[in-house]
Structure 1
Amino acid sequence: MSYALQLTDAGLAKLATVLDGQRLVLSQIAVGSGTTDTPAGLAALVHEEYRTDIQSRTPVAGGIRVSVVLPENVGGFLVREIGLIDIDGLLIAYGVCPAFPKAGAGDGYASAVTLSLTLLLTTAQTVQVNVLPQATHIRNGVVPLAVGEDTVEVVFGPSFPEGAIPSVSFEIERPAGGDFLVRDIISSTASGFTAKFTGPVPASGYYLHYNAILT
């Protein structure tokens, strides 16, 4: 099976309009858990799981490389397929990839994953990529977890602007031999968030590492 990124019929049609002076504007990357050997006619991923704005672009010989980060709080599925979406919501390119698990906050552990895709084009100079602006506010920190408590309240220092709801991801540092903790965010505000453990509760030596980003 080929793991190359291939233009769909919609992508080929869009590139044809470039010859008339129009531009192809790539905007998002989608990942999914489906797969197919015949991607040309696809209008969407076989089974889309997550979509996010492109966060960086790099010109390469004969094409463009784009990257995104799948954050820690997104997961619970296998990534088997990837798609490039343009500003009109059309699936421009599609590719299957070696399957890998994307764990999320409810899996007992979580990690961020960076995906980089290279689209080879003979008309790369006519392709524009919309890049996600850099985050304007970031808070991160480490909080010790109270022994035996099934919830933890984290207070940002300082708070985000009033009324803002940041995107929060976190992971649990556990002591050697300690249980994995199943947890989820149950509320989030400009001043902090509350997480709850649905399985074992923390013993001594557990810490919560968090990142909160407002774009």
Structure 2
Amino acid sequence: MSEKFYSLLTNIGKAKIANSVGLGTKINFSIMKVGDGGGSYYDPTEDQTDLKNVVWQGNINHVEIDEENPNWINIEVMIPSTVGGFTIREYGAFDEEGNMLGICKCAETYKPVIADGSTKELLLNLVLAISNTSTVSLKVDPTIIFAKKSEVEQLRADINTQLSDMVYQIAGGSATAITLAIKGTLVNGYPITFIASANNGGAATTINGKKLYKPGTTTSPNLISGKAYTVWYKSTGDCFFIKASAEGDADVSHVLATKKFSNDNDTGLTGTMPNNGAVSSTLTNNNQEYTIPAGFHNGLGKIKAIITNLAAAVVKAGTTVGGIVGTFTADATAVAADIISGKTAYVNGNKITGNATIESLGGMNVATGTAISSTDRQTYTTISGSNSGGHYITVTGLAFMPSIIICYYGDTYIGNTVVYTNQSGIIKAFPISSGDTGNWFYTTASPTSITSTGFSIPIGNISTVSNKTYTWIALG
């Protein structure tokens, strides 16, 4: 070829493209190899299948159709700054199967590394003329993304344009026909910020001739001079909506007059609910209710005071309020320990459950239980003067020494009560059963025994009292 530096499709590249057109398959450019030509320039040929001497290879970073020549493919690779120490005279594009599809002879370029005292990134571009560019595709390494300077500059310009629209500019025009300098292209969602220069009073308002609404409505917002606002453009409807900057569903009728608030639809709203101050009402009947009207913001406090006064009157005996006569007194002193366990009472309006026992209430120890009668091993003197064995009951495990013992047989208190005193002055009292004849008043010969933990007492010498269940009560 006459050109000193050039690029061309290899025979394999031509065949691949021909097959892709006929079969409808894609060509995937994948790898770019870089070589030094074996130490000198040479003229690449179409029948080559690889570079003369490869010094580096990497994934292709970018592929695009040339804007001015639609049959040209621009294939780019970026050599990182950390790679180098070699001279570049050739480079070629390979597909994912390892076939070299295009090759370039380039001007000799040295790629330095930091050890050389200089370093740089190097962008290589391989241009191939392909008749059907729609059959070409690219597989890019997702971990490597490079942008050309022109792309970076365009991106910077786009960002600066949009940022300029986000700077709060002073609104021009009038209060209801606002004019703003919009540098970007209005697309759906495009934001613009400004400072209102006049109050619009909530009247219908436009920005650059396009209507301005509250969020999701067709109502104009209330703009206040000197306040900053952000609006966004909606392409369907060709209008602007003010950005919602607060949350809430209260409207002006729910907020006291002259008070400012914001909700889902707007900011800087002014309440209209009248402020009527405190409410006063006297409740004269039991269970009477009073509804606080709108605008009485501290009426609940007044009602609480009425209830407090009523409670104070009720606890004072003899006082009548609204037909209720006071029955509780404020000087009651009973506590749970003053009330029998399991019983309840009200003291100063409070319900109390007792936990006291009979012993704790009266200062007397009480114990109850049952015992089976047994045959006495001793003899004692009966009222008729004869000595014979009798029956007795024995109880142990008491926590005190009894002073009085009452014993009876069956479910009812039966017969005469026998009462006598032992040598210690302790009184024992118990009845006779229905089977006894009443002839057993016991003297000092009785086997009665009283201790600090129990007792043993006679119950008679008739056979009918034997092996019976006796109920006993001991007091101490």
Do they fold alike, i.e. is TM over 0.5?
yes
Q: Distance in 2 between matches of 1:26 and 1:59?
A: 13
In the alignment, is the contact (CA less than 8 A) between 1:103 and 1:111 conserved in 2? yes
As a proportion of its length, which structure holds more helix?
2
Relative to the length of structure 1, the TM-score reads 0.59
2:50 alignment counterpart = 44
Tell me which amino acid in the other structure corresponds to 1:20.
Answer: L
SS of structure 1 residue aligned to 2:6:
coil
1:71 alignment counterpart = 80
Q: Given the alignment, which residue of 80, 89, 96 partners 1:80?
A: 89
SS of structure 2 residue aligned to 1:5:
strand
1:16 alignment counterpart = 18
- Aligned pair count reads 136
In the alignment, is the contact (CA less than 8 A) between 2:82 and 2:113 conserved in 1? yes
2:35 alignment counterpart = 32
Structure 2, unmatched stretches of 5+, are: 146-476
2:121 alignment counterpart = 112
Tell me which amino acid in the other structure corresponds to 2:27.
Answer: L
Q: Distance in 1 between matches of 2:143 and 2:19?
A: 31
Larger RCO (alpha carbons 8 Å, 6+ apart) = 1
Alpha-carbon shift at residue 15 of structure 1 (Å): 1.4
In the alignment, is the contact (CA less than 8 A) between 2:85 and 2:113 conserved in 1? yes
The 1:86/1:135 distance shift into structure 2, 3 A limit, reads closer
Tell me which amino acid in the other structure corresponds to 1:55.
Answer: N
In the alignment, is the contact (CA less than 8 A) between 2:72 and 2:128 conserved in 1? yes
2:133 alignment counterpart = 124
Alpha-carbon shift at residue 134 of structure 1 (Å): 4.7
In the alignment, is the contact (CA less than 8 A) between 1:33 and 1:79 conserved in 2? yes
Tell me which amino acid in the other structure corresponds to 1:126.
Answer: T
1:103 and 2:112 are equivalent in the alignment: yes
What does the per-residue CA deviation read over 1:50-101, in whole Å, with 9 as the maximum and x for residues that have no partner?
A: 1111112222121221222111111111110010111111110011001011
Q: Distance in 1 between matches of 2:49 and 2:118?
A: 33
Higher mean C-alpha displacement, 104-113 vs 70-79: 104-113
SS of structure 2 residue aligned to 1:10:
helix
1:144 alignment counterpart = none
The 1:135/1:97 distance shift into structure 2, 3 A limit, reads closer
In the alignment, is the contact (CA less than 8 A) between 1:74 and 1:105 conserved in 2? no
Tell me which amino acid in the other structure corresponds to 1:75.
Answer: G
In the alignment, is the contact (CA less than 8 A) between 1:36 and 1:46 conserved in 2? no
As a proportion of its length, which structure holds more strand?
1
What does the per-residue CA deviation read over 1:83-128, in whole Å, with 9 as the maximum and x for residues that have no partner?
A: 0111111110011001011112332221111122222210111011
Tell me which amino acid in the other structure corresponds to 2:32.
Answer: I
| C-alpha RMSD of matched pairs (Å) | 1.7
Relative to the length of structure 2, the TM-score reads 0.27
Alpha-carbon shift at residue 44 of structure 1 (Å): 0.8
Q: Distance in 2 between matches of 1:45 and 1:70?
A: 17
SS of structure 2 residue aligned to 1:45:
coil
Structure of higher CA gyration radius: 2
What does the per-residue CA deviation read over 1:171-194, in whole Å, with 9 as the maximum and x for residues that have no partner?
A: xxxxxxxxxxxxxxxxxxxxxxxx
What does the per-residue CA deviation read over 1:154-213, in whole Å, with 9 as the maximum and x for residues that have no partner?
A: xxxxxxxxxxxxxxxxxxxxxxxxxxxxxxxxxxxxxxxxxxxxxxxxxxxxxxxxxxxx
What does the per-residue CA deviation read over 1:121-161, in whole Å, with 9 as the maximum and x for residues that have no partner?
A: 1011101111222559xxxxxxxxxxxxxxxxxxxxxxxxx
Q: Distance in 2 between matches of 1:105 and 1:120?
A: 37
1:142 alignment counterpart = none
